[in-house]
Chain A
Amino acid sequence: MAGILGEQSGAFVGLLAVAAGIIGFVWGLTRIGVEYKARDTVERIVMGVLILCSTIAILTTAGIVLSLVFETGHFFQKYSWTDFFFGTNWTPRFQGNSDLGILPLLWGTLYISFIALLVAVPIGMFAAIYMSEYASKRVRGIAKPAIEVLAGIPTIVYGLFALITVGPMLRDYFAQPLGLGQSGASVLTAGLVMGIMLIPFVSSLSDDIINAVPQSLRDGALGLGSTPSETIKQVVLPAALPGIVGAVLLAASRAIGETMIVVLGAGAAARMSLNPFEAMTTITVKIVSQLTGDNDFSAPETLVAFALGLTLFVITLALNIVALYIVRKYREQYE
């Protein structure tokens, strides 16, 4: 500030500070009295600050909902909502008159998430079962942190991995020989890599859930003569089922909202096809492509990103709420 105001005003600011100090001192002196409890006053102010900070979470949610709903409203004034939710074409054009149907994007999103879960759920579950029921302390001590390293790697790294390693590999060894596709970016590329990303997520959640099953259930089953695998399959897993469903739902919500892997691995063509070697696109990819660069916030081509964002937010929120509810209910059951 002083730099902007110049040299002379520096002295002025100094004087101002001294004056403020004196006024504060006098004011403080006048307030001292027998009945006055300074500690309580200070603490009341601090308490106010604490409460204010804890409402930031609510403000954030409100901000998200408001910004999404507001701009989505603008979008639906320019573009019919039936065409948006039931349209099967996605062809934005610069000169206007675009087809902005969400269905191809939704299909890509769900297809890729499905493949990701197909990879992550079995691997994550088996890894968690092995670590909690079979592994020696030493193996567990190495494997658990190593798998958790996967969770600490930023998604852009997975995206680059899909782009430079997995995509070309799938194309050269599977898609082209089988005559199924020519593109490195594909549903399978993005799904596989996203599956790897979700392994630690599924495994650490399942690990918690399996450990929460009371030991007495296991002891009972083992005492009746079942093998450890029979105990797991017939006693532990059924008991843990609600928690596991919750974990899978949380993983699904992660997969649906994931951006960088699909931006770099899945392609940009909006398409509804069953061939996993074809490039498809997702809601998140289109949010990025419609909102990067120079935006014209009156064109439906830009505003559609907010409608896509709102759809994404609602889907993931619903999944999260259901999942958190199930997990919480399940925890109470054994506590």
Chain B
Amino acid sequence: MTDLPMPADASRDATKSSLLVADARTRKRNAAEKRFRSYGAAAIGVALVALVVLLSSIIGGGAGAFRQTYLSIPVALDADVLDPKGNRDPAEMSKVLTLSYGRVLDAAVDTAVADGGIEIEGLSDKDIGGLISKEASAQLRDRVLADPELLGTTVETNVLVNGRVDGYFKGRVTMESAEADGNTSPQQLMLAEELKERGMLVTRFNWDFVTNPDASDQRPEAAGVGVAILGSLYMMLVVLFLAVPIGVAASIYLEEFAPKNRWTDVIEVNISNLAAVPSIVFGILGLAAFINFAGLPQSAPIVGGLVLTLMTLPTIIISTRAALKAVPPSIRDAALGVGASKMQSVFHHVLPLAMPGILTGTIIGLAQALGETAPLLLIGMVAFVREFPAAPPEGLFDPASALPVQVYNWTQRADPAFIERASGAIIVLLAFLLCMNVLAIVLRRRFERRW
């Protein structure tokens, strides 16, 4: 490397240097080279390790949300309790409170425990009744109201089990932690263990997590992301119908028609600055402009959609402009040459050719909007919503949640079972994002044209 004639320095003797033996300085320089290179490799290694740890910790923590423990027992639906008038009229029956169904269920569990011949020292009635979720009675009520014919019969029911017991089978709750926990007891867990051995307690895949609405603080086992998925979907619809046409129109103007003057300069600087404004500032804008000023309802997907539209506009504009710029001028010249107006050349030729690039940019922008949380917190999407919103367009004004906000919501609850739910919701969110990104890549591969 250093076979250049070196200056006749006191420390070095040029005549003694050899091409075959590296001298001290060369060795030092080569070592520095190696070190530098290894720093680079290490940096990439650190980034990749961070990615792997991040994903595995979330997926490892959230996988449990997709499995749920159920108690399958025969439940005798006592017609005298559940339909005191005895006429099987759903309107009359809906007056019977969830509480009565709870009693029916408790009786069923007691019978099941007695029939199974399970005896555990120190097992109290509270332990047995507390085995099943508080949500289970509401679910049974819905089922009976939907099908009054079930009354008076004994039906095999899959009853949702309490979150602590469910957590025991997932390894979150142990006998030691149950000792200190007021909501469960070691006896209860032993009972659950016994029931599991008899095959009455099964842990299986939990579709309800994807379809159920949120549940209250005491019922983590019943909480799901159904409303949140629907809310996110509605907001994406709003973004798609607003941000894409506006973004594409703005890009067409800026890229194809705008004269180079101070006004368009202002617009350009504005767009690049908007792309870097913190997302929470858009939330403040949404609160002040759409809710306080325009009077739109809080927690409505329409407001969330509008805020996300403003946020994704810069992304869509930047990628659309890049796509338009990639279409060679010869296309425009040819169209103009055969008598098309400037507008026709753009709409009939340039735009269709730029479509794949625009679509890819749009999907990336939508993916970004889907994961955005902070602005939605400010416009009231954190509210506890159990009702599914109606079909659009009216449903856009109904309260709803959103996937990332639901995650935040669950992290604020006391029961650690909600952390598992939050990680589960993130898995759902990441699955959606993955699909969108794969779609974007496929579109780019399929339709991208090199000029």
Residues of B bordering A, CB below 8 Å? 1-2, 4, 29-30, 32-33, 35-37, 39-44, 46-48, 50-51, 53-54, 57-58, 61, 245-247, 249-250, 252-254, 257-258, 266-267, 269-274, 276-285, 287-289, 292-293, 310, 313-314, 317, 341, 343-344, 367, 370-374, 377-378, 380, 382, 404, 407-408, 411, 419, 422-423, 426, 429-430, 433, 437
Contact = CB atoms under 8 A, between A and B. Distances in A.
A253 B275 CA distance: 12
Contacts of A32: none
Contact of A53 (B35, B249, B279, B422): B249
Contacts of B245: 53
Contacts of A147: 44, 47-48, 51
Contact of A165 (B53, B273, B371, B437): B53
A227 interface: yes
A34 to B, nearest CB: 19
13 contacts: A54-B258, A60-B274, A130-B40, A157-B430, A159-B373, A161-B57, A227-B32, A230-B29, A259-B280, A260-B408, A291-B378, A292-B377, A309-B280
A70 B50 CA distance: 43
Contacts of A123: 43, 46-47
Interface in A161-190: 161, 163-165
Contact of B374 (A54, A125, A284): A284
A256 interface: yes
Contacts of A60: 274, 285, 310, 313
Contacts of A233: 36
A227 to B, nearest CB: 4
A100 B310 CA distance: 31
Contact of A257 (B29, B35, B48, B277): B277
B343 A46 contact: yes
B276 A312 contact: no
A1 to B, nearest CB: 10
Contacts of B437: 152
A70 B43 CA distance: 46
Contacts of B41: 130, 134
A135 B44 CA distance: 11
B54 A63 contact: no
A257 B282 CA distance: 11
Contact of B373 (A39, A51, A143, A155): A155
Interface string A106-118: 0000000000000
Contacts of A56: 246, 250, 310, 313
Nearest to A149: B51
Interface in A30-59: 39-40, 43, 46-47, 49-51, 53-58
Interface of A is mostly: helix
Interface string A134-164: 1100000001001101101111111111011
A19 interface: no
Interface of A: 39-40, 43, 46-47, 49-51, 53-58, 60-61, 63-64, 67-68, 70-71, 122-127, 129-131, 133-135, 143, 146-147, 149-150, 152-161, 163-165, 196, 199-200, 203, 225, 227-230, 232-233, 250, 253-254, 256-260, 263-264, 284, 287-288, 291-293, 297, 305-306, 309, 312-313, 316-317, 320-321, 324
Given A154-B429, A257-B278, A258-B278, A50 B36 contact: no
Contact of A160 (B288, B313, B314, B426): B426
B267 A54 contact: yes
Contacts of A160: 58, 407, 411, 422-423, 426
A312 B254 contact: no
A233 B33 CA distance: 11
Contacts of B285: 60, 63-64, 67
Contacts of B46: 123
Given A46-B343, A164-B423, A227-B32, A57 B274 contact: yes
A164 to B, nearest CB: 6
Contacts of B29: 227, 230
Contacts of B4: 225
Contacts of B292: 297
5 interchain residue pairs of minimum CB distance: A257-B278, A154-B371, A130-B40, A67-B288, A126-B43
B249 A50 contact: yes
B278 A225 contact: no
A127 B43 contact: yes
From A56, A68, A233, A259, residue with most partner B Cβ within 10 Å:
A56
From A39, A57, A154, residue with most partner B Cβ within 10 Å:
A57
Contacts of A284: 278, 280, 374
Nearest to B37: A134
Contact of A259 (B249, B250, B343, B374): B374
Contacts of A134: 37, 40-41
Contact of A49 (B42, B249, B293, B314): B249
A144 B280 CA distance: 29
A260 B411 contact: no
B284 to A, nearest CB: 5
B250 A54 contact: yes
Given A56-B250, A257-B277, A288-B378, A157 B54 contact: yes
Contact of B404 (A58, A133, A154): A154
A292 B379 CA distance: 8
A72 B280 CA distance: 16
A229 B430 contact: no
Contacts of B254: 54
A225 B1 contact: yes
Nearest to B434: A152
B411 A50 contact: no
Contacts of B266: 58
Given A152-B367, A156-B371, A320-B276, A47 B47 contact: no
Contact of A154 (B37, B314, B372): B372
A161 B278 contact: no
A58 B270 contact: yes
A43 B280 contact: no
Given A146-B51, A154-B429, A320-B276, A227 B374 contact: no
Contacts of A293: 382
Contacts of A149: 51
B366 to A, nearest CB: 12
A124 B40 CA distance: 9
B257 A50 contact: yes
A284 B378 CA distance: 11
A291 B423 CA distance: 26
A127 B408 contact: no
B273 A320 contact: yes
Contacts of A292: 377-378, 380, 382
From A55, A133, A135, residue with most partner B Cβ within 10 Å:
A55
B367 to A, nearest CB: 7
A63 to B, nearest CB: 5
